[in-house]
Amino acid sequence: DTEVTQTPKHLVMGMTNKKSLKCEQHMGHRAMYWYKQKAKKPPELMFVYSYEKLSINESVPSRFSPECPNSSLLNLHLHALQPEDSALYLCASSQEARRFGTDTQYFGPGTRLTVL
Amino acid sequence: DAKTTQPPSMDCAEGRAANLPCNHSTISGNEYVYWYRQIHSQGPQYIIHGLKNNETNEMASLIITEDRKSSTLILPHATLRDTAVYYCIVRAGLTGANSKLTFGKGITLSVRP
């Protein structure tokens, strides 16, 4: 099973709202990722967690706050977003294998976020 | 990571083989070639990856040239459900947290009835 689940599927929020995106995997993977995908563009990496610790932040604005409460869960907390933050937010996970080149990422279906 | 070059689009007839090319002329020795696809409004789906040998799985075959500067993804019997954007990605052979997956523009494959 290579399933990554994301909730909600769709989210509409105002610029003053606080909301959270949730991602879950039960494959025993120890690396988890957030990507952002604007319309007609490829996905862009935002954050990487390895063994529940943040290892990569791709200079993402602080209005996006990731959290990894345990090895199966990844959250993205949203606050004071702008309309240009509207996008598909994708979560992925990988084994974080210690062997060379075998760390394949598996993606969830994404959350379609609209900021009004 | 080395960059890849893919044509923007191609089409093929249903039931025929779809051969999707990718150039990665600056690939280095420890970099793998990965292929993902993304069906409209869904998350990217892993297809296959390889280092230097040809690879085959239940979804596709990956043919890598001997100099590793280009590769071809082959879908042996394309169906309408294979219509998607296909991303060819070159990626360093490191553990997940240190090896970024950088998506290019991809190639849009349209399978016609």
Q: Is the CB of residue B104 less than 8 Å away from at least one CB of chain A? A: yes
Residue identified by tokens 């009004």 is A116
pLDDT of B70 > 90? The answer is yes
Interval B12-23 mean pLDDT: 97
Q: Looking at beta carbons, which residues of chain A come within 8 Å of B99?
A: 101, 103
**Cβ of B43 and A109 within 8 Å?**
yes
Residue identified by tokens 């990665």 is B24
Burial label, B85 (beta-carbon count in 10 A; 0-12, 13-18, 19+) = buried
How big is chain A by its Cα radius of gyration, in Å? 14
Q: Which of A28-32, A90-94, B1-5 shows the lowest per-residue confidence on average (mean pLDDT)?
A: B1-5
Q: How many CB atoms lie within 10 A of CB B54?
A: 12
Interval A33-56 mean pLDDT: 94
Interval B66-94 mean pLDDT: 93
Question: Which residue does chain A place closest to B87, by CA atoms?
Answer: A42
pLDDT band at B99 (very low <50, low <70, confident <90, very high): low
Interval A33-61 mean pLDDT: 94
Which of A91-100, B6-15, B29-38, B85-94 shows the highest mean pLDDT? B6-15
Cα dihedral sign for A41, B101, A96, B53? positive
Closest Cβ–Cβ partner in A43, A98, A101 for B103: A43
pLDDT of B23 > 80? The answer is yes
Question: What token pair was written down for B81?
Answer: 């459900």
Closest Cβ–Cβ partner in A42, A44, A45 for B106: A42
